[in-house]
Structures are given as C-alpha cells and as structure tokens.
Structure 1
Amino acid sequence: MISRRAKSIQPSATLSISSTAKELARQGKPVINMGVGEPDFVTPKHIIEAAIKALNEGKTFYTPTRGIPELVDAIVEKAKQDGLDVKAENVIVTPGAKYAIFEAILAVIEEGDEVILLDPSWVSYEPCVQVAGGKVVWVPHSEGFSDAPIEEYVKQKTKLIIINSPSNPLGVVYPKEFLKKVRDIAVDNDILVMSDEIYDKIIFEGEFVSIAGFDGMPERTIVINGFSKTYAMTGWRLGYAIAPEEITKHMLRIQSHSVSHPTSFVQYAGVAALKGDQKCVEEMVAEFKVRRDMLMEGLDEIGLKYAPPKGAFYMFVDVGQDSMKFCEEFLKKEYVAATPGSAFGRVFTTWVRLSYATSRENIEEAIRRLKRFLS
C-alpha cells in the first residue's frame, strides 16, 4: 500500500526527540528541551496585532499563489537592502521556509540527479531530495568547519549544492573565502546552489554574506528564508524563496496544486515583521548571545569540544560516544533533550546538537545535569 518514495523517508529526529520530551513533561518530569530549534520568545506584539487587524478587516480569503503584493514587495525591499538585485517575479511566499525548500527541490531535481550536502546538515534536506528522486552526496567538513572539499565530489550528475549559513546544526557562519569557492565551483560546472539563510539575522561573530550576491550567482541561486527564527514565528508557518524567474514559475505551479498559498492573515503579519521596528530582533539576538556564552563556558569547564558557534542558536558538541545512545540516556536519566549528530549526516556520530533557545535558568540547570551525567 505504501510507496517506495514514502518508505525511503525516515522520521525527523529533532521532532521525535521533542515529542518524547513533551510526553515526559506531561508526566510531570522536570524536562529541559534543548533538542528543538524553536525560539522560546513570544512573537513580537506589533506582528500579532497586524494579524489581528487583518482578521478584523476580513482578510481571510484566498490570496495570490505568489503571496500578497504587500509582502512580496517587502521581501524585495529586504533583499535589496541585503545587496541583492531582486524583482517580484523572483519571489514566492510559502507556508514556512521548509516548504520553500521542498518546492524548490521538486522544481529542479530529477530522478538520478545528485545533490551535495555538507556533513552535517539540517535533517530535512535529504528527505526532500529523496522525494524528488535525487541522490544525496555527503561532503564532510574540514577541521574547524569553515571549509569542505566540495570540489572533490562534483560529478557529471551534480545538479545542486545546498549550503546553510549560519548553519544548523553547527552554528557556523561560513567565511567569504568558502562561499567564493562554492561560487567558482557552481559557475565552472553549471550547478545550482540553494542558500538557506533562515538564520541570517542571528549573528554573534563574523559577517553574514549571501552567495546570491556574488558575480554569476543570481541566475543560479535559490535563496531560502522565512520568519520563524528571526521573528519567533515558528507556528505561523511563513517563509519564502528568491530564485531565477524560471524556477519560481514552476514552484508556483507546485504550490498552486498543493497548498494554494500561505494563510492570508499571516502574510499581513509578515509585512509588519519586515517593515516594522527591528529592535525586537536585536533584543532577541542579544539574549541568544548571552545564552550562547553561558553554554560555551559550561562546556569549556566540562572539557567538551564543539564547533565555533558564531550564529543561529545551536552548539554542536562532541560527547565522545554514540550520539543516539547518549541522547536517549541523557533524556531518560537527566530529562534533558538533545538531538543526535547522526540525524544530521554520516560522519559526526559522536556529536550532539544542543539548542540554547531556552531560558538562562534552563541552561544553567542543563549544564549541571550534563556534568552529573558524564561523571
């Protein structure tokens, strides 16, 4: 009864861990959830009010598949502020950035095409490629996580390279030198690049650079972004893609026959997010940095190695043992949820991802429990 395509997809490890953690919490256990990538802040008030206003004004009907013009224009304006030359025809608004990734991969990947992923990478890239009939080629990071030998893995069937900066699960912000190398590989071999920039405003060290701004890249780059992380809008499900017009045209076809468009009144909230005061973002990023520094200090005291956390809100930590077993035992014995590194690729099987999108008090307690667990 079940298709081969559906059987090939494994459940999301991040959501699975989170589900178990929530069930333990319902049982009254003192759970600290550091397994899910979700800001613990309430969506800023002016964004909520914009959605309520849209509801009260009766903006509850179908919208254009691409998204309401006001939001499309706001996305174009943001892109131009970031140095990208974008028109409305390059934009499609989607119900979440994850769905933008799914649509884009369906639009460009055919049976047998190869897609390069950096190991480790976010858990949902590979299933999207599998649904499209493509094959994932894993490229391990070099030491320090600021480079990867992508050039050694490019073949005739390579169609797409996916990069994510700042990175989930690493927290790494890729330097210009690495992005320039990816650009050269893409141009020289006529390869598309998907740049997942969902954490572009959550930067602590270094500078965020979009590969779409490099010479020769606007016509071969699919930029993915959204509102979940920057504006604490995970449950609102609002994202977008910026891509060459031929790609967005076919993404629109997929969207029109699947979800039609994102929720109408949520799109008006998106306009308020992009065009409103960005102080709320600055405050959230400042708090994330404090939490990051706390976690770094605790891990340094324990003596655990981790990837350089320059952005997003994750620490990728080497615990020196099988990551799945570690996460299961850590949750069972100390009620702290973490995500196994094995969920993010093939190589880093002794690493785990810790999300510090939780309170300072939770981080302090999680460090105490981690020390106890390891001892």
Structure 2
Amino acid sequence: MNYPISDRIKNMSESATLAMAAKARELKSQGIDIISLSLGEPDFKTPKHIQEAAKKAIDSEKYFAYPPVSGYQDLREAIANKLEKENGIPSSPDQIVVSNGAKQSIANLMLSLLNPGDEVIVFAPFWVSYTELVKLAGATPVYVTGTLENDFKPTAEQLKDAITDNTKAVLYSSPCNPTGSVFSKEELEKLAMVLRQYDNIVVMSDEIYEHINFGNEGHVSMASLPGMAERTITINGFSKGFAMTGWRVGYISAPLPIAKAATKIQGQITSGNSSIAQRAALAAITEDLKPTMDMTKTYHKRRDMMLDLLKEMPGVVTNVPKGAFYIFPDISNFFGKSDGETKVKNADELAIYILKKANVSVVTGTAFGAPNCIRISYAASDDELKEAMARLKKVLAELK
C-alpha cells in the first residue's frame, strides 16, 4: 500500500520531549536503571480535594452528557473571576474557552488566526510545540532569541526589529519552558510599549507555569498592563500548578472575536473538554491553593540544590531560573570532545551520550531553538536528582 500521508504531517517534527521520554521508557523496559529528567511533568499526585471533586461529579450522575464546547458556564465564570482578581485581567465567561490541555488551546489559536504567509514572532528558547503548530497553520515562525547573559529573555529592541507587515502574533511563555526565565513587570512593559503601536498584532502569553514562580515580584500577566487586554490572549491551564497533566484541562482568555473563533474550530475537532475533568478543574481553581504553594516551595528547594550540583561540573554554564521546573545549561564546552570511544559534536549527540553512558534522559536544546543547551527537568525526587547529577558529573568529566 502507498499510504497517502499529508505533506503537513511529513513536514512536522516529532516532539523532542516525547521522543526522549519514549527512548527512556524503552530502556527501562529492558531493565536498565534510567532516571528520566526529560518530561515536563510534575512528580506530585493531584491534590486530594481535586480528586474528590471528580469522584463527586461521577457519583452525582449529572456530568455524563456532552459538555458545552467552550466549557461549563460555572468553570468559565470561575476562571474569569480568577483572572480578574489574581492577574488583573479584565475577563468575562464568554471570553474563556476551555480545551483539552493548553496545547490544544494553542493549536486552536493558530488555526483560528493564521493564514499562509503570516508570521508569528516566537521568543526563543521556546517550547517545542510552538513552532510546529505555527507551521501546521501554514504560517512562518520568526525567532527572536534571548541570550544566557540576559537570562534568555529577548529585548524590546529585538522584538521591534523582528516585526514586519506580515507579523500577526507574538508568542512567548513566562515562566518559560525550557529556561525557567520570568519576565518582570518592567520588562513586559517595555515589550508592551512596542506592541501598542500595532493594532494588527496579537500577543499569545503562555502562563501555564504561573504558580511555579520563585521571584519576589510574583507573576505578572501581559494582559494586565494598560492597553494590552484588547490585544492579548492569555493561555493557561491546570497541568503544572495543580499536578493535573493527565486530566487535560487548559484554557484561554481572549478578546471575544478570537474566543468565538477558537470555540468554532474546537467544536469541529474535539468538541468540549471531559466533563469530569472540568469538575476537578473547578475545585482546583476555587478551593485551597496550599498544595500548589507547597509544591512550589519544593521546586524552589530543588532548583537551588540542582544549581549547586551543576556548579561542581566544569564546563556547564547556567542562568538562575526564576520559575517552572527546568534548568537549561549551556553545554557547548563539551562539543568536539571525546571519551576515547565517542566524540560529541552537538547537543543532540550529547543528550544521547548522557542517556547511554549515564542512564539519564535529558532533552537537546536544539528542539527549543537553543543548540548550545540541554533541558533538565527537576520534577523528580531529591534522591533521583542527586543520583542523576552524580552520574552526569562522572560522564561529562570523561569527555576530554
């Protein structure tokens, strides 16, 4: 058979994080002791009160039918209220679209907003799916790259220089996956000063790591700044801050025409998000945040521990991430070096070398638009992290 696979699929890259996780699982299935630091998945269980809300919803037998495409009214009201009170974003329930994870939210936006020939400015380093979803919509990603010296954050000047007549959107995350960098209010305001000059460019602000923030200033949303609510789409969800990756609940808050467009395309592709997961999400967003805050404190301690351990490895250079649960070190000092058997040429080869020699899975920075780096997730136990870093230190020291 000559199966007719579409060009859009042939041209789409596989998710590097999922690919590395699959390799790690394959080695584990062979009995190899792999420590996986490749996936962006909390190692905590979903808090009990959220689990109980889902059980209660099942027992009530009220939530077995198709839910509204954009989400239950009470959940959208709760999200709009949260955005207003916690983030300073003016929002109403009809501006909220609940989806099957923030990834679907982003895909909905790309297919709703973009045409072939359009450009999307993507702040790099970037989450691996951003650029593939831009391409899926027939548009072109334009990269604006932050340097390690600037905490991987692009500047307003870089943004201004990248804007063309074809620019339709700007996409970034804060706290950032993969770097852990967090834009301050001052930095966002400088970006906003550029963007307010254009009435045909929307901002897509991915804030999925909002609660995992270690800075004193706390999280700042682009849409809370003067003149930015009408040109900003806020993307968020429950996977990271509430340890609900498997529940698959994400959402956007967008200007009404965009929210309607996203609802229209979601209605044709998946319809509404799981009814039971939505009841769990309602409990997450309206009830006790202490479990979330406790998780963040643990991540903060792990970050400090990881930075201390990485400092013991000559040749590894890193920033100090202010959020999320990743460290994104520059490992280019090891390019061209060999352990006598294997010569490492780039970050892709180094990630494979670490997997095979140290039995630790990390992700190449190439997939995130940073070919000199690797991404290390510290969403793992202290013991696993210590052992993984001990193994990493040993195999890197063998590269001469």
Give the alignment's TM-score, normalised by structure 2. Answer: 0.91
Runs of at least 4 residues off by over 6 Å? none
Aligned sequence identity (%): 41
Q: Which residue of 1 aligns with 2:76?
A: 72
Which ranges of structure 1 fall in alignment gaps of 5 or more residues?
none
CA distance in 2 between counterparts of 1:312 and 1:275 reads 22
Give the letter for the 1:232 counterpart.
Answer: A
1:312 to 315, 321, 324: 324
2:310 match: secondary structure: helix
Following superposition, the deviation at residue 368 of structure 1 comes to 0.5
> Which residue number corresponds to residue 340 of structure 2?
none
2:257 partner amino acid: E
1:366 matches 2:388: yes
In the alignment, which residue of structure 2 is the partner of 1:172? 181
State which of 349, 353, 364 in structure 1 corresponds to 2:375. Answer: 353
1:161 maps to 170
**Cα distance in 2 between the residues matched to 1:119 and 1:225:** 19
In structure 1, how many angstroms separate the alpha carbons of the residues matched to 2:41 and 2:153?
A: 25
> Which residue type is aligned with residue 285 of structure 1?
T
Deviates more, 1:138-147 or 1:154-163: 138-147
Cα distance in 2 between the residues matched to 1:24 and 1:294:
27
| Residue 194 (structure 1) aligns with | 204
Match for 1:277 among 262, 278, 288? 288
How big is the shift at 1:181?
Answer: 2.3
For 2:75 and 2:384, the matched residues in 1 are separated by 36
Pair 1:61-2:60 in alignment: no
Q: After the TM superposition, which of the residue ranges 22-31 and 161-170 deviates more from structure 2?
A: 22-31
Q: What letter matches 1:73 in structure 2?
A: E
Secondary structure of 1:208's aligned partner: coil
Give the CA RMSD over aligned residues.
1.0
- Cα offset, 1:70, TM superposition: 1.5
One-letter code aligned to 1:252: T
Show CA shifts across 1:325-352 (max 9, x none).
Answer: 011011011110001000011xx21210
Residue 32 of structure 1 corresponds to 35
Structure 2 residue aligned with 1:325: 349
| TM-score (structure 1 length as normaliser) | 0.97
Q: CA–CA distance in 1 between the matches of 2:264 and 2:237?
A: 20
SS at match of 1:365: helix
Which residue number corresponds to residue 146 of structure 2?
141
For structure 2, the residue ranges without an aligned partner over 5 or more in a row are 336-345
Cα shift readout 1:308-333 (whole Å, capped 9, x = no counterpart): 21000000011123110011011011
2:8 to 5, 13, 24: 5
Q: Secondary structure at the match of 1:209?
A: coil
Report how many residues are paired: 373
| Secondary structure, counterpart of 1:75 in structure 2 | helix
Shift of 1:279: 0.6
In the alignment, the residues of structure 2 paired with residue 328 and residue 336 of structure 1 have an alpha-carbon distance, to the nearest angstrom, of 9
Residue identity matched to 1:366: A
Between the aligned partners of 1:265 and 1:370, the Cα distance in structure 2 is 42
Aligned residue for 2:367, secondary structure, equals helix
Q: Deviations over 1:41-97 (max 9, x none)?
A: 011111111111111111111111110112111101110112111101110000101
Question: Is residue 146–residue 178 contact of structure 1 (8 Å, CA) maintained in 2?
Answer: no
Quote how far apart the aligned CAs of 1:136 are: 0.5
Encode CA deviations 1:272-325: one digit per residue, 9 max, x unaligned: 101111110011001111111110000112142113210000000111231100
Deviates more, 1:169-178 or 1:191-200: 169-178
1: CA distance between counterparts of 2:263 and 2:154?
A: 34
Offset, 1:241 = 0.3
Name the CA distance, whole Å, in 2 between partners of 1:5 and 1:314. Answer: 31
